[in-house]
């Protein structure tokens, strides 16, 4: 038998996995269950592992797998993150899983399935900034439902500084071209016209903070004139 908190956490993780395709961060779990510290989340996860309800897939960021649910799980609502947390996050990754090694083939089939091709512009650092790469010779197929209005392009993510936002090394980021962004949105930011990085944007007076989603990395605080938004993250593609 599970305790109330164990039950709530298990159901919360299961629903988060079903809705987003990846497990919630420890911070999200802590806030959803209204715990005082992340150590409480660790203890609950360990207890669920010991009872055979949950499994951690090691060497993968935020990789939890629900093995089974108690029979009464459907009868209790799962806790959800507070509205303030959801608004601050600004992005919930829409991840399409699959094998994209043959992504330049089958154009006709992709069109019939409601997909379009967008340019793939090399790799973008999700750790330290790198020079912007634009290789207009490559394209990638993306479902129309993921795009909406506007002009789009794709970048391959390099690094792990955005793992707590569900963005992993090797993911393909789908970007909607834009020159502005709201506070808390994840953007492609061009720094000093030479460096490009994928980070969460915050305005602080006359400065702009480029925030990672990994405690191992530091926030970069820069004068606003040194940062130019080149697009906003709208979706992710992921290989398995």
Distance from C-alpha of 85 to C-alpha of 89, rounded to nearest angstrom: 6
CB-based contacts of 65-69 (< 8 A; 24+ apart in sequence): 65/17, 66/10, 66/13, 66/14, 66/17, 69/10, 69/11, 69/14
According to DSSP, residue 23 is labeled P
Which of the following is catalytic: 19, 37, 199, 207?
Answer: 199
Phi/psi of residue 141, each to 5°? -90, 130
Residue bearing the bigger pLDDT, 74 or 143: 143
199 part of the active site:
yes
Which residues, 6 or more positions from 82, have their beta carbon under 8 angstroms from its beta carbon? Answer: 31
Percent of the chain at pLDDT > 70 equals 73
Q: What is the pLDDT of residue 198?
A: 92
161 part of the active site:
yes
Model pTM score: 0.54
Q: Which of 112-116, 125-129, 218-222 has the highest mean pLDDT?
A: 218-222
Distance from C-alpha of 166 to C-alpha of 60, rounded to nearest angstrom: 11
Number of residues that make up the chain: 240
Domains and CATH numbers, the chain: 4-89 (1.10.10.10), 95-239 (2.10.109.10)
Q: What is the pLDDT of residue 114?
A: 73
Residue 25 has pLDDT above 80, yes or no: yes
Instruction: Please give the average per-residue pLDDT across 51-69, as a whole number.
Output: 75
Which of the following is catalytic: 23, 38, 161, 207?
Answer: 161
């Amino acid at each position: 038998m599970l305790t109330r908190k164990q039950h709530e956490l298990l159901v919360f993780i299961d629903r988060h996995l079903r809705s987003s395709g990846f497990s919630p961060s420890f911070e999200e779990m802590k806030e959803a269950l209204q715990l005082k510290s992340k150590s409480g989340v660790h203890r609950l996860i360990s207890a669920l592992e010991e009872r055979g309800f949950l499994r951690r897939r090691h060497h993968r960021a935020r990789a939890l797998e629900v093995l089974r649910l108690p029979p009464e799980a459907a009868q209790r609502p799962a806790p959800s993150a507070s509205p303030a947390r959801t608004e601050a996050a600004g992005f919930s990754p829409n991840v399409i899983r699959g094998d994209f090694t043959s992504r330049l083939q089958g154009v006709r089939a992709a069109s019939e399935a409601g997909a379009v091709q967008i340019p793939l512009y090399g790799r973008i650092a999700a750790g330290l900034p790198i020079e912007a790469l634009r290789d207009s010779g490559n394209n990638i197929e993306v479902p129309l439902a993921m795009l909406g209005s506007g002009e789009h392009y794709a970048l391959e993510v390099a690094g792990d500084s955005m793992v707590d936002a569900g963005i992993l090394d090797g993911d393909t980021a789908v970007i909607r071209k834009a020159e502005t962004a709201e506070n808390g949105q994840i953007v492609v930011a061009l720094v000093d016209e030479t460096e490009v990085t994928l980070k969460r944007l915050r305005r602080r007076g006359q400065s702009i903070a480029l925030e990672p989603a990994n405690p191992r990395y530091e926030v970069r605080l820069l004068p606003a004139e040194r940062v130019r938004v080149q697009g906003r993250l709208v979706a992710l593609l992921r290989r398995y």
